Structures are given as structure tokens and as C-alpha cells.
A = this chain, B = another copy of it.
Amino acid sequence: MKSIKLAVVQFTPAFKRKEENLSRIQELISNLEADIIVLPELCTTGYFFLSRDETSELAEPISGPTCQFFQKISKQSNAVVVAGFIEKKGNKIFNSCLIAQPGKKTPRVYRKTHLFYKEPFCFDPGDTGFFVVQDTVRDVNIGPMICYDWRFPESARVLTLLGADLIVCPSNLITDAWRTVMPARAIENKVYVAVANRAGTEQIKDEELLFKGNSTIYDYDGIAVYTAGASGDEVMVTKIFPSLTRDKSFNEFNDVLKDRRPKHYKPLA
């Protein structure tokens, strides 16, 4: 039974200071011994934008320097790297996360499906839908979702049906409800869940957002095996056993996927 090393990085970006953030991220992860490294949503730019003008200015295509930076880190550290960034694609702007794999030239990109709070002022709704990145070298199937996607049971369920062993969730969480729900996502789907949240605050005009940290790695029984502090940067590394999630049975008779009865789920899709 093969284990791999999963690293979840809690990181507090400096608002709009992309180069500074990339440099601090490099310090945090360049010597990390891990097979997968997960960073927060929008970790290179900060979060609390209020207009497309602001996000446009920081947005980059997949071929841009931010993706190149993470692709290089991925190559150097021989790890899959997952990180949130502002993506420009034609005249659209997405709240995206890249999945950089060693040996690949460009990363895969997931575009956030469910937009939260004031994000619709700054981003287009994601158009990639959910997909799973199969990493055959490390024998792990990675299903990305971003922050508010957590609240929709459909997100993690679709990723599981597509074969995810590990759901990675770069986040900028400002409420606590996710801490009640994420263990359920792990249990109902029998998958690992890695939430890389950010910490710190951002104030725009009269409104301050407090990002709640507490990044957590859940095993497939919904147990929080590592939880970071509520504030501060932190790197958590743990072993996971992706192949153990592929047998979806949990007793001699029941299986969380085989027992599904999709003909009774018509209103969902």
C-alpha cells in the first residue's frame, strides 16, 4: 500500500503585491519534501477586490509568469502544486486554481464554479466544471474545488464520481460553517479532503474581512488529522494512502457509491 506526502500551506498574501507573495511562497515551499503541495485561493494577489478593473490588472493567462513560477516549483520539488490565482482568458476573468504537475509544460486550471459574496463584481463564473487530475507517477487522483464550492454537496460528489481520491480546496474562508461540513464531505464520499485556507485580514473602505485560517487535512473518515492555527502561516505535512479511498465500501454490505440510486436523484442535475 503506497503512501504519498501531502503538504497543505496556510499563507497570508500581501494584498495586490504579487511579486512579494511569490517570493514568500518560494521560501515556504521550495525545500518542502512532499508529493503534493496545496496553497490557498488567490494566494498570489489577496482576495478582497470589488471591481473587474482591479482583478483585470492582476489577471494572467495560463502562459503567464504566475503559472510558469508554479510549474517551475513543481519541477524542482518533484511535486504536484495546487495554487489559486486570477486567470485571464480572452475577455473573461476567473477565480482559478492551477494544478502543476512535474514533467508537464503547462498546468491544468480549474475555474471556481460557485462564486461567493462580492466575487461576481470581479470574476466570471467558472466554465471548466469539475474534473480530476490523474497523477500516474504518484498514483493519486486529485479533484480540485475552490472555497465556497464546499457548501454544495454536488461539488465533492461529482469529483468523487469522477474518481478523486483527494479533494483539494484552496480557500479564503471567512465563516466557520465549513468546519462543520467538511468532515461530512470526507465521510459521504470516502475521500481525503485538504483545505488550504489563508489567514489575516483585508480592509476595503468600511469593510474588513477576517480570513479564519484553521487549514485542515481530513482523512476519509472525516477525522481532522492536522489543523493549522487561526492566524499565521503554517505548513502541514502528512502521509496519505490514496488507494485506500478507491474501495468505497465501509462494511461487508454497503458502499457509498454502489448504493447510490441515481434514478431517484433527477431533480439534482
Contacts from A to B (Cβ < 8 Å) = 113-118, 120, 125, 129-130, 148, 151-154, 157-158, 161-162, 177, 180-181, 183-185, 187-188, 221-222, 251, 253-254, 256, 259-269
Closest B residue to A259 by beta carbon equals B114
Flag if B153 contacts A188 (CB, 8 Å): yes
Q: Which residues of B contact A125 (CB under 8 A)?
A: 261
4 closest A-B pairs by CB: A153-B153, A184-B184, A265-B269, A181-B184
Q: Which residues of B contact A262 (CB under 8 A)?
A: 268-269
A51 to chain B, nearest CB (A): 15
Flag if B188 contacts A158 (CB, 8 Å): no
CA distance A70 to B170 in the complex (A): 50
Q: Which residues of B contact A269 (CB under 8 A)?
A: 262, 265-269
CA distance A268 to B189 in the complex (A): 13
CA distance A222 to B180 in the complex (A): 8
Q: Say which residue of B129, B256, B266 sits within 8 Å of A151 (CB atoms).
A: B256
CA distance A154 to B256 in the complex (A): 12
A133 to chain B, nearest CB (A): 16
CA distance A161 to B260 in the complex (A): 18
CA distance A154 to B257 in the complex (A): 12
Q: Say which residue of B130, B158, B261, B267 sits within 8 Å of A114 (CB atoms).
A: B261
Flag if A268 contacts B184 (CB, 8 Å): no
CA distance A269 to B262 in the complex (A): 5
Q: Which residues of B contact A129 (CB under 8 A)?
A: 263-264
Q: Say which residue of B151, B161, B221, B268 sits within 8 Å of A188 (CB atoms).
A: B151
A253 to chain B, nearest CB (A): 5
Q: Say which residue of B118, B184, B260, B265 sits within 8 Å of A253 (CB atoms).
A: B118
Q: Which residues of B contact A222 (CB under 8 A)?
A: 177, 180-181
Q: Which residues of B contact A114 (CB under 8 A)?
A: 259-261
Q: Which residues of B contact A259 (CB under 8 A)?
A: 114-115, 148, 152
Flag if B260 contacts A152 (CB, 8 Å): yes
Q: Which residues of B contact A117 (CB under 8 A)?
A: 251, 253-254
A130 to chain B, nearest CB (A): 6
A4 to chain B, nearest CB (A): 25
CA distance A87 to B29 in the complex (A): 60
For the complex with contacts A117-B251, A157-B268, A177-B221, 20 further pairs of A-B residues with Cβ separation under 8 Å are A113-B264, A114-B259, A114-B260, A120-B253, A148-B254, A151-B187, A153-B153, A153-B154, A153-B184, A153-B188, A154-B264, A154-B265, A158-B264, A158-B265, A177-B222, A180-B187, A181-B184, A181-B187, A181-B188, A183-B184
